[in-house]
Amino acid sequence: MANTDAYQQALELIENANTILVTTHTRPDGDACGCVGAMTDALRAQGKTVQPLFLSPVPDWYRFLLHEEAPVLGADVQVDQLIGGTLGAFDLVVILDTNSYSQLPRFEDYLKQTDTPVLVFDHHVTSDALGQVELVDSTAAAAGLVVYEFLASVGWSITARMAEALFVAIATDTGWFQFNNTDSRTYRRSAELIDLGAAPAQIYDKLYHNFSHARFQLMQAMLDHLELHLDGRFAVQYLLQDDFARTGTNYPDTENLINECHRIASVVVSTLLVELKDGRVRCSLRSRGAVDVSEIATKYGGGGHKMAAGAFLPGPIEHAKQLVFDEVSLRLTNVGVSDS
């Protein structure tokens, strides 16, 4: 848990600011969107003018966490406009669920030229130390946990809407309390958020029983491409541009699909390779713990956690597949044949 000094410094930064820009990492997940939703509400309740900004589009199924259409950098507003003050003159920037330039494409250019103080709430080990004040706790299962503990500690009121957003942040970053990062603190804080008004059954329905038929077909395409290697311990899945075109889906529709193959008992490490329009391959990696997949991602300029990480690889898919195979093969050999 962050120490009280850091809480005090964070509080001072916020108290001294009137107009606050709130952002998060590119390809925002549930933790990112939940944190932005809750933090935006929390700061507004303190009388601040708050501008949420995303670096890529919010997936449809997380839109309920936000109470307005927030602009997307590179689409609704360009970085030179942001620098020029089109969105406002900010006296504080709050960055949620990342502390790395590589997770902040284009926004990096803004950060590197601004004198505006930066406040970071994060739980990743990877860090470029972006903040003047940083509440970073790598033992926290989600950034939502770091945000919640800060709000509770400084005594700000947490509305049911904020509790819902923070519950989503925690529930999604723990694979709905399935991943190894799910500890008693995760459950305890989640229980508190339920007491504050988060309704898990309704949230689960909103998040997981909401596939479009098109997205289901995309999952079907991914499963059609499933390959098991290394005694069934390494699952490789991929999606091509053609799969998106044929099913009428987009990149955000891939979220969480990688996890499907972990229903197979033998699978220890999995990857989902997604061919991007520019020819690069977005590589997502998941591990059941025996292999630290963040090592692989970091080697290729990405990042993440031991259990979940990602990076961009050079295409085509076959080449990317070989790169990941070599890395995973090396590491699975080192851990020996798993008994799981």
CA atoms within 13 A on the CB side of 232: 8
Q: Which residue number has the CB closest to Mn ion? A: 31
Distance CA 56, CA 74 (A): 8
Using the rule CB under 5 A, which residue among 50, 143, 158, 198 binds Mn ion? 143
Q: Round to whole Å and give the CA distance between 305 and 298.
A: 10
Question: Hey, what are 303's tokens?
Answer: 């990042």
Is residue 275 involved in binding Mn ion (CB under 5 A)? no
CB neighbour list of residue 338: distance below 8 Å, 6 or more residues apart: 233, 268, 290, 332
Nearest to Mn ion of 309, 313 (CB atom): 309
Assess 137 for contact with Mn ion (CB under 5 A). no
User: Applying CB under 5 A, which part among 29-37, 41-49, 106-114, 275-283 lies near Mn ion?
Assistant: 29-37
Q: Establish if 97 lies at the interface with Mn ion (CB under 5 A).
A: yes
Q: Total residues at the site for Mn ion (CB under 5 A)? A: 4
Contact with Mn ion (CB under 5 A): which of 9, 20, 21, 31?
31
Contact 263, 232 (CB under 8 A): no
| 45: nearest Cα among 148, 156, 143 | 156
Continuous H helices in 175-240: 184-195, 200-208, 213-224
Burial of 299 (0-12, 13-18, 19+ CB in 10 A): exposed
Min dist. Cβ of residue 25 to Mn ion (A): 8
Instruction: Rank residues 97 and 164 by Cβ distance to Mn ion and give the closer one.
Output: 97
Verify binding: residue 164, Mn ion, rule CB under 5 A: no
Q: Least distance in Å: CB of 30 to Mn ion?
A: 8
Joined tokens for residue 305: 């956690």
Question: Strand 281-287 to strand 269-275: parallel, antiparallel, or no bridges (unpaired)?
Answer: antiparallel
Q: Which stretch binds Mn ion (CB under 5 A): 28-36, 146-154, 219-227, 276-284?
A: 28-36
Binding flags for Mn ion, 167-206, as an x/- string (CB under 5 A): ------x---------------------------------
- Minimal distance, residue 42 CB to Mn ion, in Å: 18
Q: Of the listed pieces 12-20, 101-109, 143-151, 262-270, which binds Mn ion according to CB under 5 A?
A: 143-151
Q: Cα(310)–Cα(273) distance, rounded to whole angstroms? A: 10
327 binds Mn ion (CB under 5 A): no
The one segment of 80-88, 96-104, 211-219, 243-251 that binds Mn ion by CB under 5 A: 96-104
CB of 142 to Mn ion, least distance (A): 5
**Phi-psi region at 266: left, alpha or beta (left = phi > 0; alpha = psi -120 to 50):** alpha
Count how many Cα atoms sit within 13 Å of the Cα of residue 78 in the half-sphere of its side chain: 3
Q: Are strands 92-96 and 19-24 parallel, antiparallel or unpaired?
A: parallel
Residue 38 sits in the site that holds Mn ion (CB under 5 A): no
C-beta of 17 vs 170, nearer to Mn ion: 170
CB of 122 to Mn ion, least distance (A): 8
The nearest distance, CB 166 to Mn ion, in angstroms, is 12
Residue 31 or 253: which CB sits closer to Mn ion?
31
Residues that bind Mn ion in the complex, under the rule CB under 5 A: 31, 97, 143, 173
